[in-house]
Amino acid sequence: MCPACLTNFAMPTINLADRFGPVLAGRPQALTVRQEIESETSAGHEIVVDLDGVVTMSPSFADELFGKLAVHAAEGHVRFEHLSGHLANVAQTAAAGRGTDRP
């Protein structure tokens, strides 16, 4: 791809608050998002998960999303944005439970 084209390329973004509201709870919700992300990354795309507007999330949601996607995030295929301090702690705890320290 040409260098000028790269500046106009926007990574696909999933805004979790737009989809589910400010409280993210339950493994089934996170599973849907994780499967969508894995579909994008397996096709060679990078993706942004935007947590702007999210206030809190359940441990099961965090494990399904951050824990199971930690490897993709560490490889740079998934980028999490707008994590508050609280959400960053929840994400790190979930990732650490899966053997990595980076959500």
Task: Delimit the domains of the chain by residue range.
Answer: 3-97
Contacts of 74 (CB under 8 A, 6+ apart): 100, 102
Write the CA distances from 94 to 5, 26, 80, 84, integer angstroms. 36, 14, 14, 15
Q: Residue 67: is its pLDDT beyond 90? A: no
DSSP assignment string, 2-60: -HHHHHTPPPPEEEHHHHH-SEE--HHHHHHHHHHHHHHHHTT--EEEE-TT--EE-HH
Are 99 and 74 contacting, i.e. CB atoms less than 8 angstroms apart?
Answer: no
Position 7 confidence tier, pLDDT thresholds 50, 70, 90: very low
Burial of residue 81, with CB atoms counted within 10 A of its CB: 0-12 exposed, 13-18 middle, 19 or more buried: exposed
pLDDT tens-digit map of 25-61: 999 999 999 999 999 888 888 899 999 999 999 999 9
